[in-house]
């Protein structure tokens, strides 16, 4: 099990004005390390610091291992934190199942209702749980795919069928693709080491590869980038941070901004005494478009000028 104690962040927080001299402990469970989830965590830390909330963060990373994910919760229970921050669905599910006496704020969770975290989005029905959803706007993702690859007939998707959030997203992708006359070919993985082979299995079966906000696959997105570059197969993703890592494009939430907003929710619980179960699930609706011209060229695609013109970030 990998545990990171963010002592430097805690020391920085000590320099900020605090609420009535209170000191808080926030235990963090994160399923895997990759830029999007790390950005959420950093956003929460920065927001609490901005608000002058004196907090120490105990950060636990499961490295994609389901057994470790569960073990982390036992360790967090021993820490007796003031708040549990659960980043991504697997950690949030484990925390909600095992921890009933501490407020839990989840974030980066695709579908908190189907994941069993809340009964509905407005009233959690779970007295100690609330958080933020990053459900992908699948209509916009499919529209972007068609705009970048107008000749597309079949979308290939790589995902971990063991991640409930990914199953929900692939079902949404299939539904949206069907509406516009496109087919979907699936390639599943059990861990990040399987991403390369999964991408290879899609060669010849699809016209474009799509990666949803699947934590397992995104943690090894470079493997998919390599296969797609070698085979001139366009790669579109649901995570803007993966564009800098070699995908062609993404229209998605800014995960650092999601972290900031999650930090606002945590602050209401810690400093204002609001009960987590009384807080509705929140969303970040301001989407960003990132494109990578070098990646497009490597995968045999010329990006339309109007896409480049409206992009929030263009990687040359």
Give pLDDT tens digits for 96-111: 999 999 999 999 999 9
Report the pLDDT value the prediction gives residue 6, as an integer from 0 to 100.
40
Q: Give whole-number Cα distances, 104 to 10, 162, 193, 269, in Å.
A: 20, 23, 31, 10
Percent of the chain exceeding pLDDT 70 equals 92
Q: How confident is the model at residue 21 (pLDDT cuts 50, 70, 90)?
A: low
N- to C-terminal Cα separation, the chain: 38
User: For 126, which DSSP code?
Assistant: S
Residue 4 β-bridge partners: 59
> Could you give the C-alpha distances from 171 to 142, 147, 186, 281, in angstroms and in order?
13, 21, 11, 22
Does one domain contain both 202 and 237?
yes
**Residues 71, 148 within the same domain:** no
State the total domains in the chain: 2
In this structure, are 155 and 9 located in the same domain? no
Q: Are 217 and 156 in contact (CB under 8 A)?
A: no
Average pLDDT of the chain, as a whole number = 91
> pTM, whole model, 2 decimals?
0.80
* Residue 121 and residue 16 in one domain: yes
For residue 76, pLDDT over 50 is answered with yes
**CATH number of the domain where residue 8 is located:** 3.40.50.2300
pLDDT reading at 9 higher than 70: no
CA dihedral 187, 200, 229, 310 (to 10 degrees): -10
Q: Is the distance from CB of 216 to CB of 188 less than 8 angstroms?
A: no
Of all helices (H) and strands (E), which one includes residue 57? Answer: strand 55-61
What DSSP letter does each residue of 59-71 carry, written as one string?
A: EEE-TT-HHHHHH
Which residues constitute the domain of residue 238?
A: 138-252+288-315
pLDDT per residue over 119-137, tens digit each?
888 866 668 999 999 988 9
**Do 220 and 275 share a domain, yes or no?**
no
Summarised one tens digit per residue, pLDDT across range 34-65 is 899 999 999 999 999 999 999 999 999 999 89
Say what percent of the chain tops pLDDT 90.
85
Alpha-carbon torsion, ordered 40, 41, 47, 51, to 10 deg: 150
289 conformational bin, left if phi > 0, alpha if psi -120 to 50, beta if neither: beta
209 and 105 inside one domain: no
Question: What average pLDDT score do residues 115-122 get?
Answer: 89
What are the residues facing 55 on neighbouring strands?
24
Whole-Å CA distances, 64 to 90, 192, 199, 247: 9, 8, 19, 22
User: Do 71 and 123 share a structural domain?
Assistant: yes
Is residue 15 scored above 60 in pLDDT?
no
> Based on the domain organization, do 150 and 75 belong to the same domain?
no
Q: Are residues 303 and 162 in the same domain?
A: yes
Q: 17 and 100 in one domain?
A: yes
The residue count of the chain comes to 316
Q: Give the number of other Cβ atoms within 10 Å of residue 116's Cβ.
A: 16
pLDDT surpassing 70 at residue 250 = yes
Residues 90 and 237 in one domain: no
pLDDT at residue 289 in the model: 97
Q: Give the integer Cα–Cα distance in Å for 270 and 27.
A: 13
Question: Residue 124 has what pLDDT?
Answer: 62
- 168 plus 300 within the same structural domain: yes
The backbone torsions φ and ψ at residue 309, rounded to the nearest 5 degrees and listed phi first, read -65, -35
Distance CA 301, CA 3 (A): 42
């Amino acid at each position: 099990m990998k545990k990171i104690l963010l002592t430097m962040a805690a020391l920085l927080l000590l320099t900020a004005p605090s609420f009535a001299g209170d000191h808080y402990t926030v235990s963090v469970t994160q399923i895997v390390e990759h830029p999007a989830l790390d950005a959420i965590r950093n956003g929460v830390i920065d927001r609490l610091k901005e608000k002058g909330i004196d907090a120490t963060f105990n950060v636990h990373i499961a490295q994609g291992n389901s057994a470790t994910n569960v073990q982390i919760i036992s360790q967090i229970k021993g820490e007796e934190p003031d708040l549990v921050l659960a980043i991504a669905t697997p950690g949030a599910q484990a925390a909600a199942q095992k921890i009933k006496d501490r407020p839990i704020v989840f974030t980066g969770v695709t579908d908190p209702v189907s994941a069993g975290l809340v009964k509905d989005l407005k009233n959690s029905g779970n007295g100690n749980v609330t958080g933020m959803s990053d459900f992908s706007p699948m209509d916009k993702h499919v529209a972007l795919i068609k705009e970048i690859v107008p000749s597309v007939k079949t979308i290939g998707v790589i995902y971990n069928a063991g991640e409930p959030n990914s199953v929900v997203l692939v079902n949404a992708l299939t539904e949206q693709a069907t509406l516009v006359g496109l087919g979907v070919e699936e390639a599943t993985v059990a861990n990040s080491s399987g991403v390369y082979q999964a991408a290879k299995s899609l060669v010849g079966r699809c016209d474009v590869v799509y990666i949803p906000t699947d934590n397992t696959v995104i943690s090894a997105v470079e493997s998919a980038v390599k296969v797609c570059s070698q085979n001139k197969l366009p790669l579109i993703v649901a995570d803007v941070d993966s564009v800098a890592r070699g995908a062609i494009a993404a229209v998605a939430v800014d995960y650092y901004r999601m972290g900031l907003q999650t930090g606002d929710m945590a602050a209401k619980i810690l400093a204002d005494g609001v009960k987590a179960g009384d807080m509705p699930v929140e969303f970040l609706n301001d989407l960003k478009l990132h494109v990578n011209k070098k990646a497009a060229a490597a995968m045999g695609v010329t990006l339309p000028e109007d896409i480049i013109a409206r992009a929030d970030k263009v990687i040359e």
